[in-house]
Amino acid sequence: MSRHLASASLPAEALPQERQQWILQRLRSQGRVVAAELAAECQVSEDSIRRDLRELAAQGLCKRVYGGALPLTVPVQPLKQRRGEHAGRKQALARKAATLVRQGQILLIDAGSTNTAIAAALPERSQLTVVTNAPDVALALLDREGFEILLVGGRVDPRIGGAVGAQAVKSLQGIRADLCFPGACALDLDGGLWGFDSEEVLFKRTMVECSGETAVVVTSDKLGAVATHRVAELAEVQHLVVEHEVDKATRAAYAARGVTVYRAEAGNGE
């Protein structure tokens, strides 16, 4: 079933399996589902919907939460595996993210393949200072004009692709930046920005605290997903860059919470 059918009406008197497949498509399209809303749309009882969600969760297809369900998030893969994944999509996000940057700013850029793409997309000769814990980000800027690069030291975690831990956090605390790009493992309307690794999350949290503004750049699978440690409340995020495919209702929901939402141009599907 195409993800474009997720917004289509469910046929009357649909079988439970058909309804569950429809719920999964809605979950993948919107990033979350609410039992009461599903019951109204499907014209069945909330008990029936809750039973559907329990069965889907038992199959490992979603995560039950109070009032509905969220998609599952697979913990972040090592950076070397992520470098070549969805390159076109990440480059489209990076090009849009780069438009948020102004001449002469001090930027904090986190580790991660999407953030490396953002570094590569930054305009040259703009007298930018880039502070990063990620060797990949530094290398993406090293031979380009108009950048001062400050590499945060500390223990480099090869899975994360950047320095984390007490030394890295202490180095970062002495910096005041205009804008930061923390890597995102999950983002949702109620909980905000989330990550998996506690040390990495502490570094991301410090980035937010040291910056005047925060920009979160996410592939669609991160919206409404679930991770274990909160990085920041949604109120602490000023800018959100999403993929072209993210629907208008989702973009409007984040905008209603005071976040300025930017939609990337359509990628090439890589």
Q: Are residue 121 and residue 57 in the same domain, yes or no? A: no
Q: Is residue 270 part of a domain?
A: no
DSSP helix/strand/coil, 17: helix
Q: Is residue 134 part of a domain?
A: yes
Q: Are residue 112 and residue 38 in the same domain, yes or no? A: no
Q: Are residue 88 and residue 176 in the same domain, yes or no? A: yes
Q: Which of 114, 106, 111, 101 is nearest to 131 (CA)?
A: 106
CA 38 – CA 83 distance, rounded (Å): 38
Q: Is residue 222 part of a domain?
A: yes
- 7 pLDDT higher than 70: no
Residue type, 163: A
- 61 pLDDT higher than 90: no
The pLDDT of residue 74 is 54
User: Tokens 């007490």 — which residue?
Assistant: 166
Q: Residue 178: enclosing H or E segment and its boundaries?
A: strand 177-181
User: Predicted confidence band at 4 (pLDDT cuts at 50, 70, 90)?
Assistant: very low
Q: Are residue 10 and residue 104 in the same domain, yes or no? A: no
Q: Are residue 226 and residue 139 in the same domain, yes or no? A: yes
Encode pLDDT of 156-195 as tens digits: 988 889 999 999 999 999 999 999 999 998 898 988 999 8
Q: Are residue 61 and residue 177 in the same domain, yes or no? A: no
DSSP state of 83: T
Q: Which of 232, 183, 226, 178 is nearest to 205 (CA)?
A: 232
DSSP helix/strand/coil, 258: coil
Pairing of strands 63-65, 68-70: antiparallel
Q: Is residue 183 part of a domain?
A: yes
**Which CATH number is 200's domain given?**
3.40.50.1360
Please provide residue 50's backbone torsions phi and psi, each rounded to the nearest 5 degrees: -60, -35
Q: Is residue 63 part of a domain?
A: yes
Last residue of a domain, one of 70, 87, 110: 70
Give the neighbor-by-neighbor strand order of the sheet with 63-65: 33-34, 68-70, 63-65
**Which CATH number is 55's domain given?**
1.10.10.10
Q: Are residue 144 and residue 12 in the same domain, yes or no? A: no
The pLDDT of residue 3 is 35
Pairing of strands 192-195, 68-70: unpaired
Q: Are residue 252 and residue 182 in the same domain, yes or no? A: yes
Q: Which residue has the higher pLDDT, 14 or 86?
A: 14
- 107 pLDDT higher than 60: yes
Q: Are residue 114 and residue 38 in the same domain, yes or no? A: no
Q: Are residue 63 and residue 89 in the same domain, yes or no? A: no
Q: What is the DSSP string of 104-171?
A: T-EEEE-SSHHHHHHHHHSPTTS-EEEEES-HHHHHHHTTSTTEEEEE--SEEETTTTEEESHHHHHH
C-alpha distances (whole Å) from 100 to each of 94, 215, 257 are 10, 8, 19
Encode pLDDT of 9-38 as tens digits: 566 678 888 899 899 888 876 767 889 989
Encode pLDDT of 108-165 as tens digits: 999 999 999 999 999 999 999 999 999 999 999 999 999 999 999 988 988 889 999 9
Average predicted confidence (pLDDT) for the chain: 87
Domain count, the chain: 2
Q: To 5 degrees, how large is the angle CA 36–CA 237–CA 84?
A: 90
The pLDDT of residue 222 is 87
Encode pLDDT of 204-261 as tens digits: 999 999 999 999 999 988 887 777 789 999 999 999 999 999 999 999 999 999 999 9
Q: Are residue 60 and residue 135 in the same domain, yes or no? A: no
CA 152 – CA 168 distance, rounded (Å): 6
Q: Which of 88, 96, 113, 126 is nearest to 269 (CA)?
A: 88
Q: Is residue 197 part of a domain?
A: yes
Last residue of a domain, one of 51, 70, 89: 70
Last residue of a domain, one of 21, 50, 70: 70
DSSP state of 237: -
Which range of residues forms the domain containing residue 226?
79-263
Q: Is residue 268 part of a domain?
A: no
The separation between the first and the last C-alpha atoms of the chain, rounded to the nearest angstrom, is: 20
Q: Are residue 26 and residue 125 in the same domain, yes or no? A: no
Q: Is residue 108 part of a domain?
A: yes
